[in-house]
Structures are given as C-alpha cells and as structure tokens.
Amino acid sequence: MVRVLYFAWLRERMGCAEEQLEIPPGVATVGDLAAWLRARNAKGEAAFAELSTVRAAVNQVFALPPAPFADGDEVAFFPPVTGG
C-alpha cells in the first residue's frame, strides 16, 4: 500500500486529501503513478490533466517524475509553490 496525499486544487479535484492505494505492477515511479491516477477515473483526469503543473514528494522529499517509490511510502502531489 502507498499513502497518496493531495494538496490545494489537486485535493479539490480528487475529492479527498489522501488515499491508501494498492499500486498495480508496472507503476514504479512518481511519473507512472501520476499517469495511473490520471487514467483511473474522471477525478484523476481533472486533477492530473496538466502533469507539468503538478509537483511531487516521496516521504517528504521533493521528487521528479523518474523518482521511484516503494510499498509503504508516502507520495504527495501538490501545485508549484512560490514564496515571497
């Protein structure tokens, strides 16, 4: 199981703040996971329609799409953040 967290407008579009998911074989990177979530249902399609606007972290460490994750990890998705 992987704990998937959604923040900001991703949370709104997915309709939840987090999910515990059994990830199918072949989904091994953050990019794979985002693509799988997008293809899973209409909410995922809305949330992940523009993958270039989604950032991710694995176990609270910023992760690029090729980054791997494993069973038991936490993967968070969020929009780009700026400070000022």
* Nearest in space to 77 (alpha carbons), one of 65, 66, 1, 43: 65
* Nearest in space to 37 (alpha carbons), one of 64, 62, 56, 61: 56
Task: Work out the mean pLDDT of the chain and round it to a whole number.
Answer: 94
Across the range 30-56, mean pLDDT stands at 95
Q: What is the pLDDT of residues 49-80, one digit of tens each?
A: 998 899 999 999 999 999 999 999 999 999 98
Residue 83 has pLDDT above 70, yes or no: no
3-class DSSP assignment, residue 73:
coil
3-class DSSP assignment, residue 10:
helix
Burial class (CB in 10 A: 0-12, 13-18, 19+), 26: exposed
Q: Does domain 2-78 have CATH number 3.90.100.10?
A: no
Residue 34 has pLDDT above 90, yes or no: yes
Local structure of residue 34 (DSSP, 8 states): H
Residue 84 has pLDDT above 70, yes or no: no
Local structure of residue 70 (DSSP, 8 states): -
Angle (CA) 81 49 78, round 5°:
25
Domain residue ranges in the chain? 2-78
Give pLDDT, residue 54.
94
pTM here is 0.93
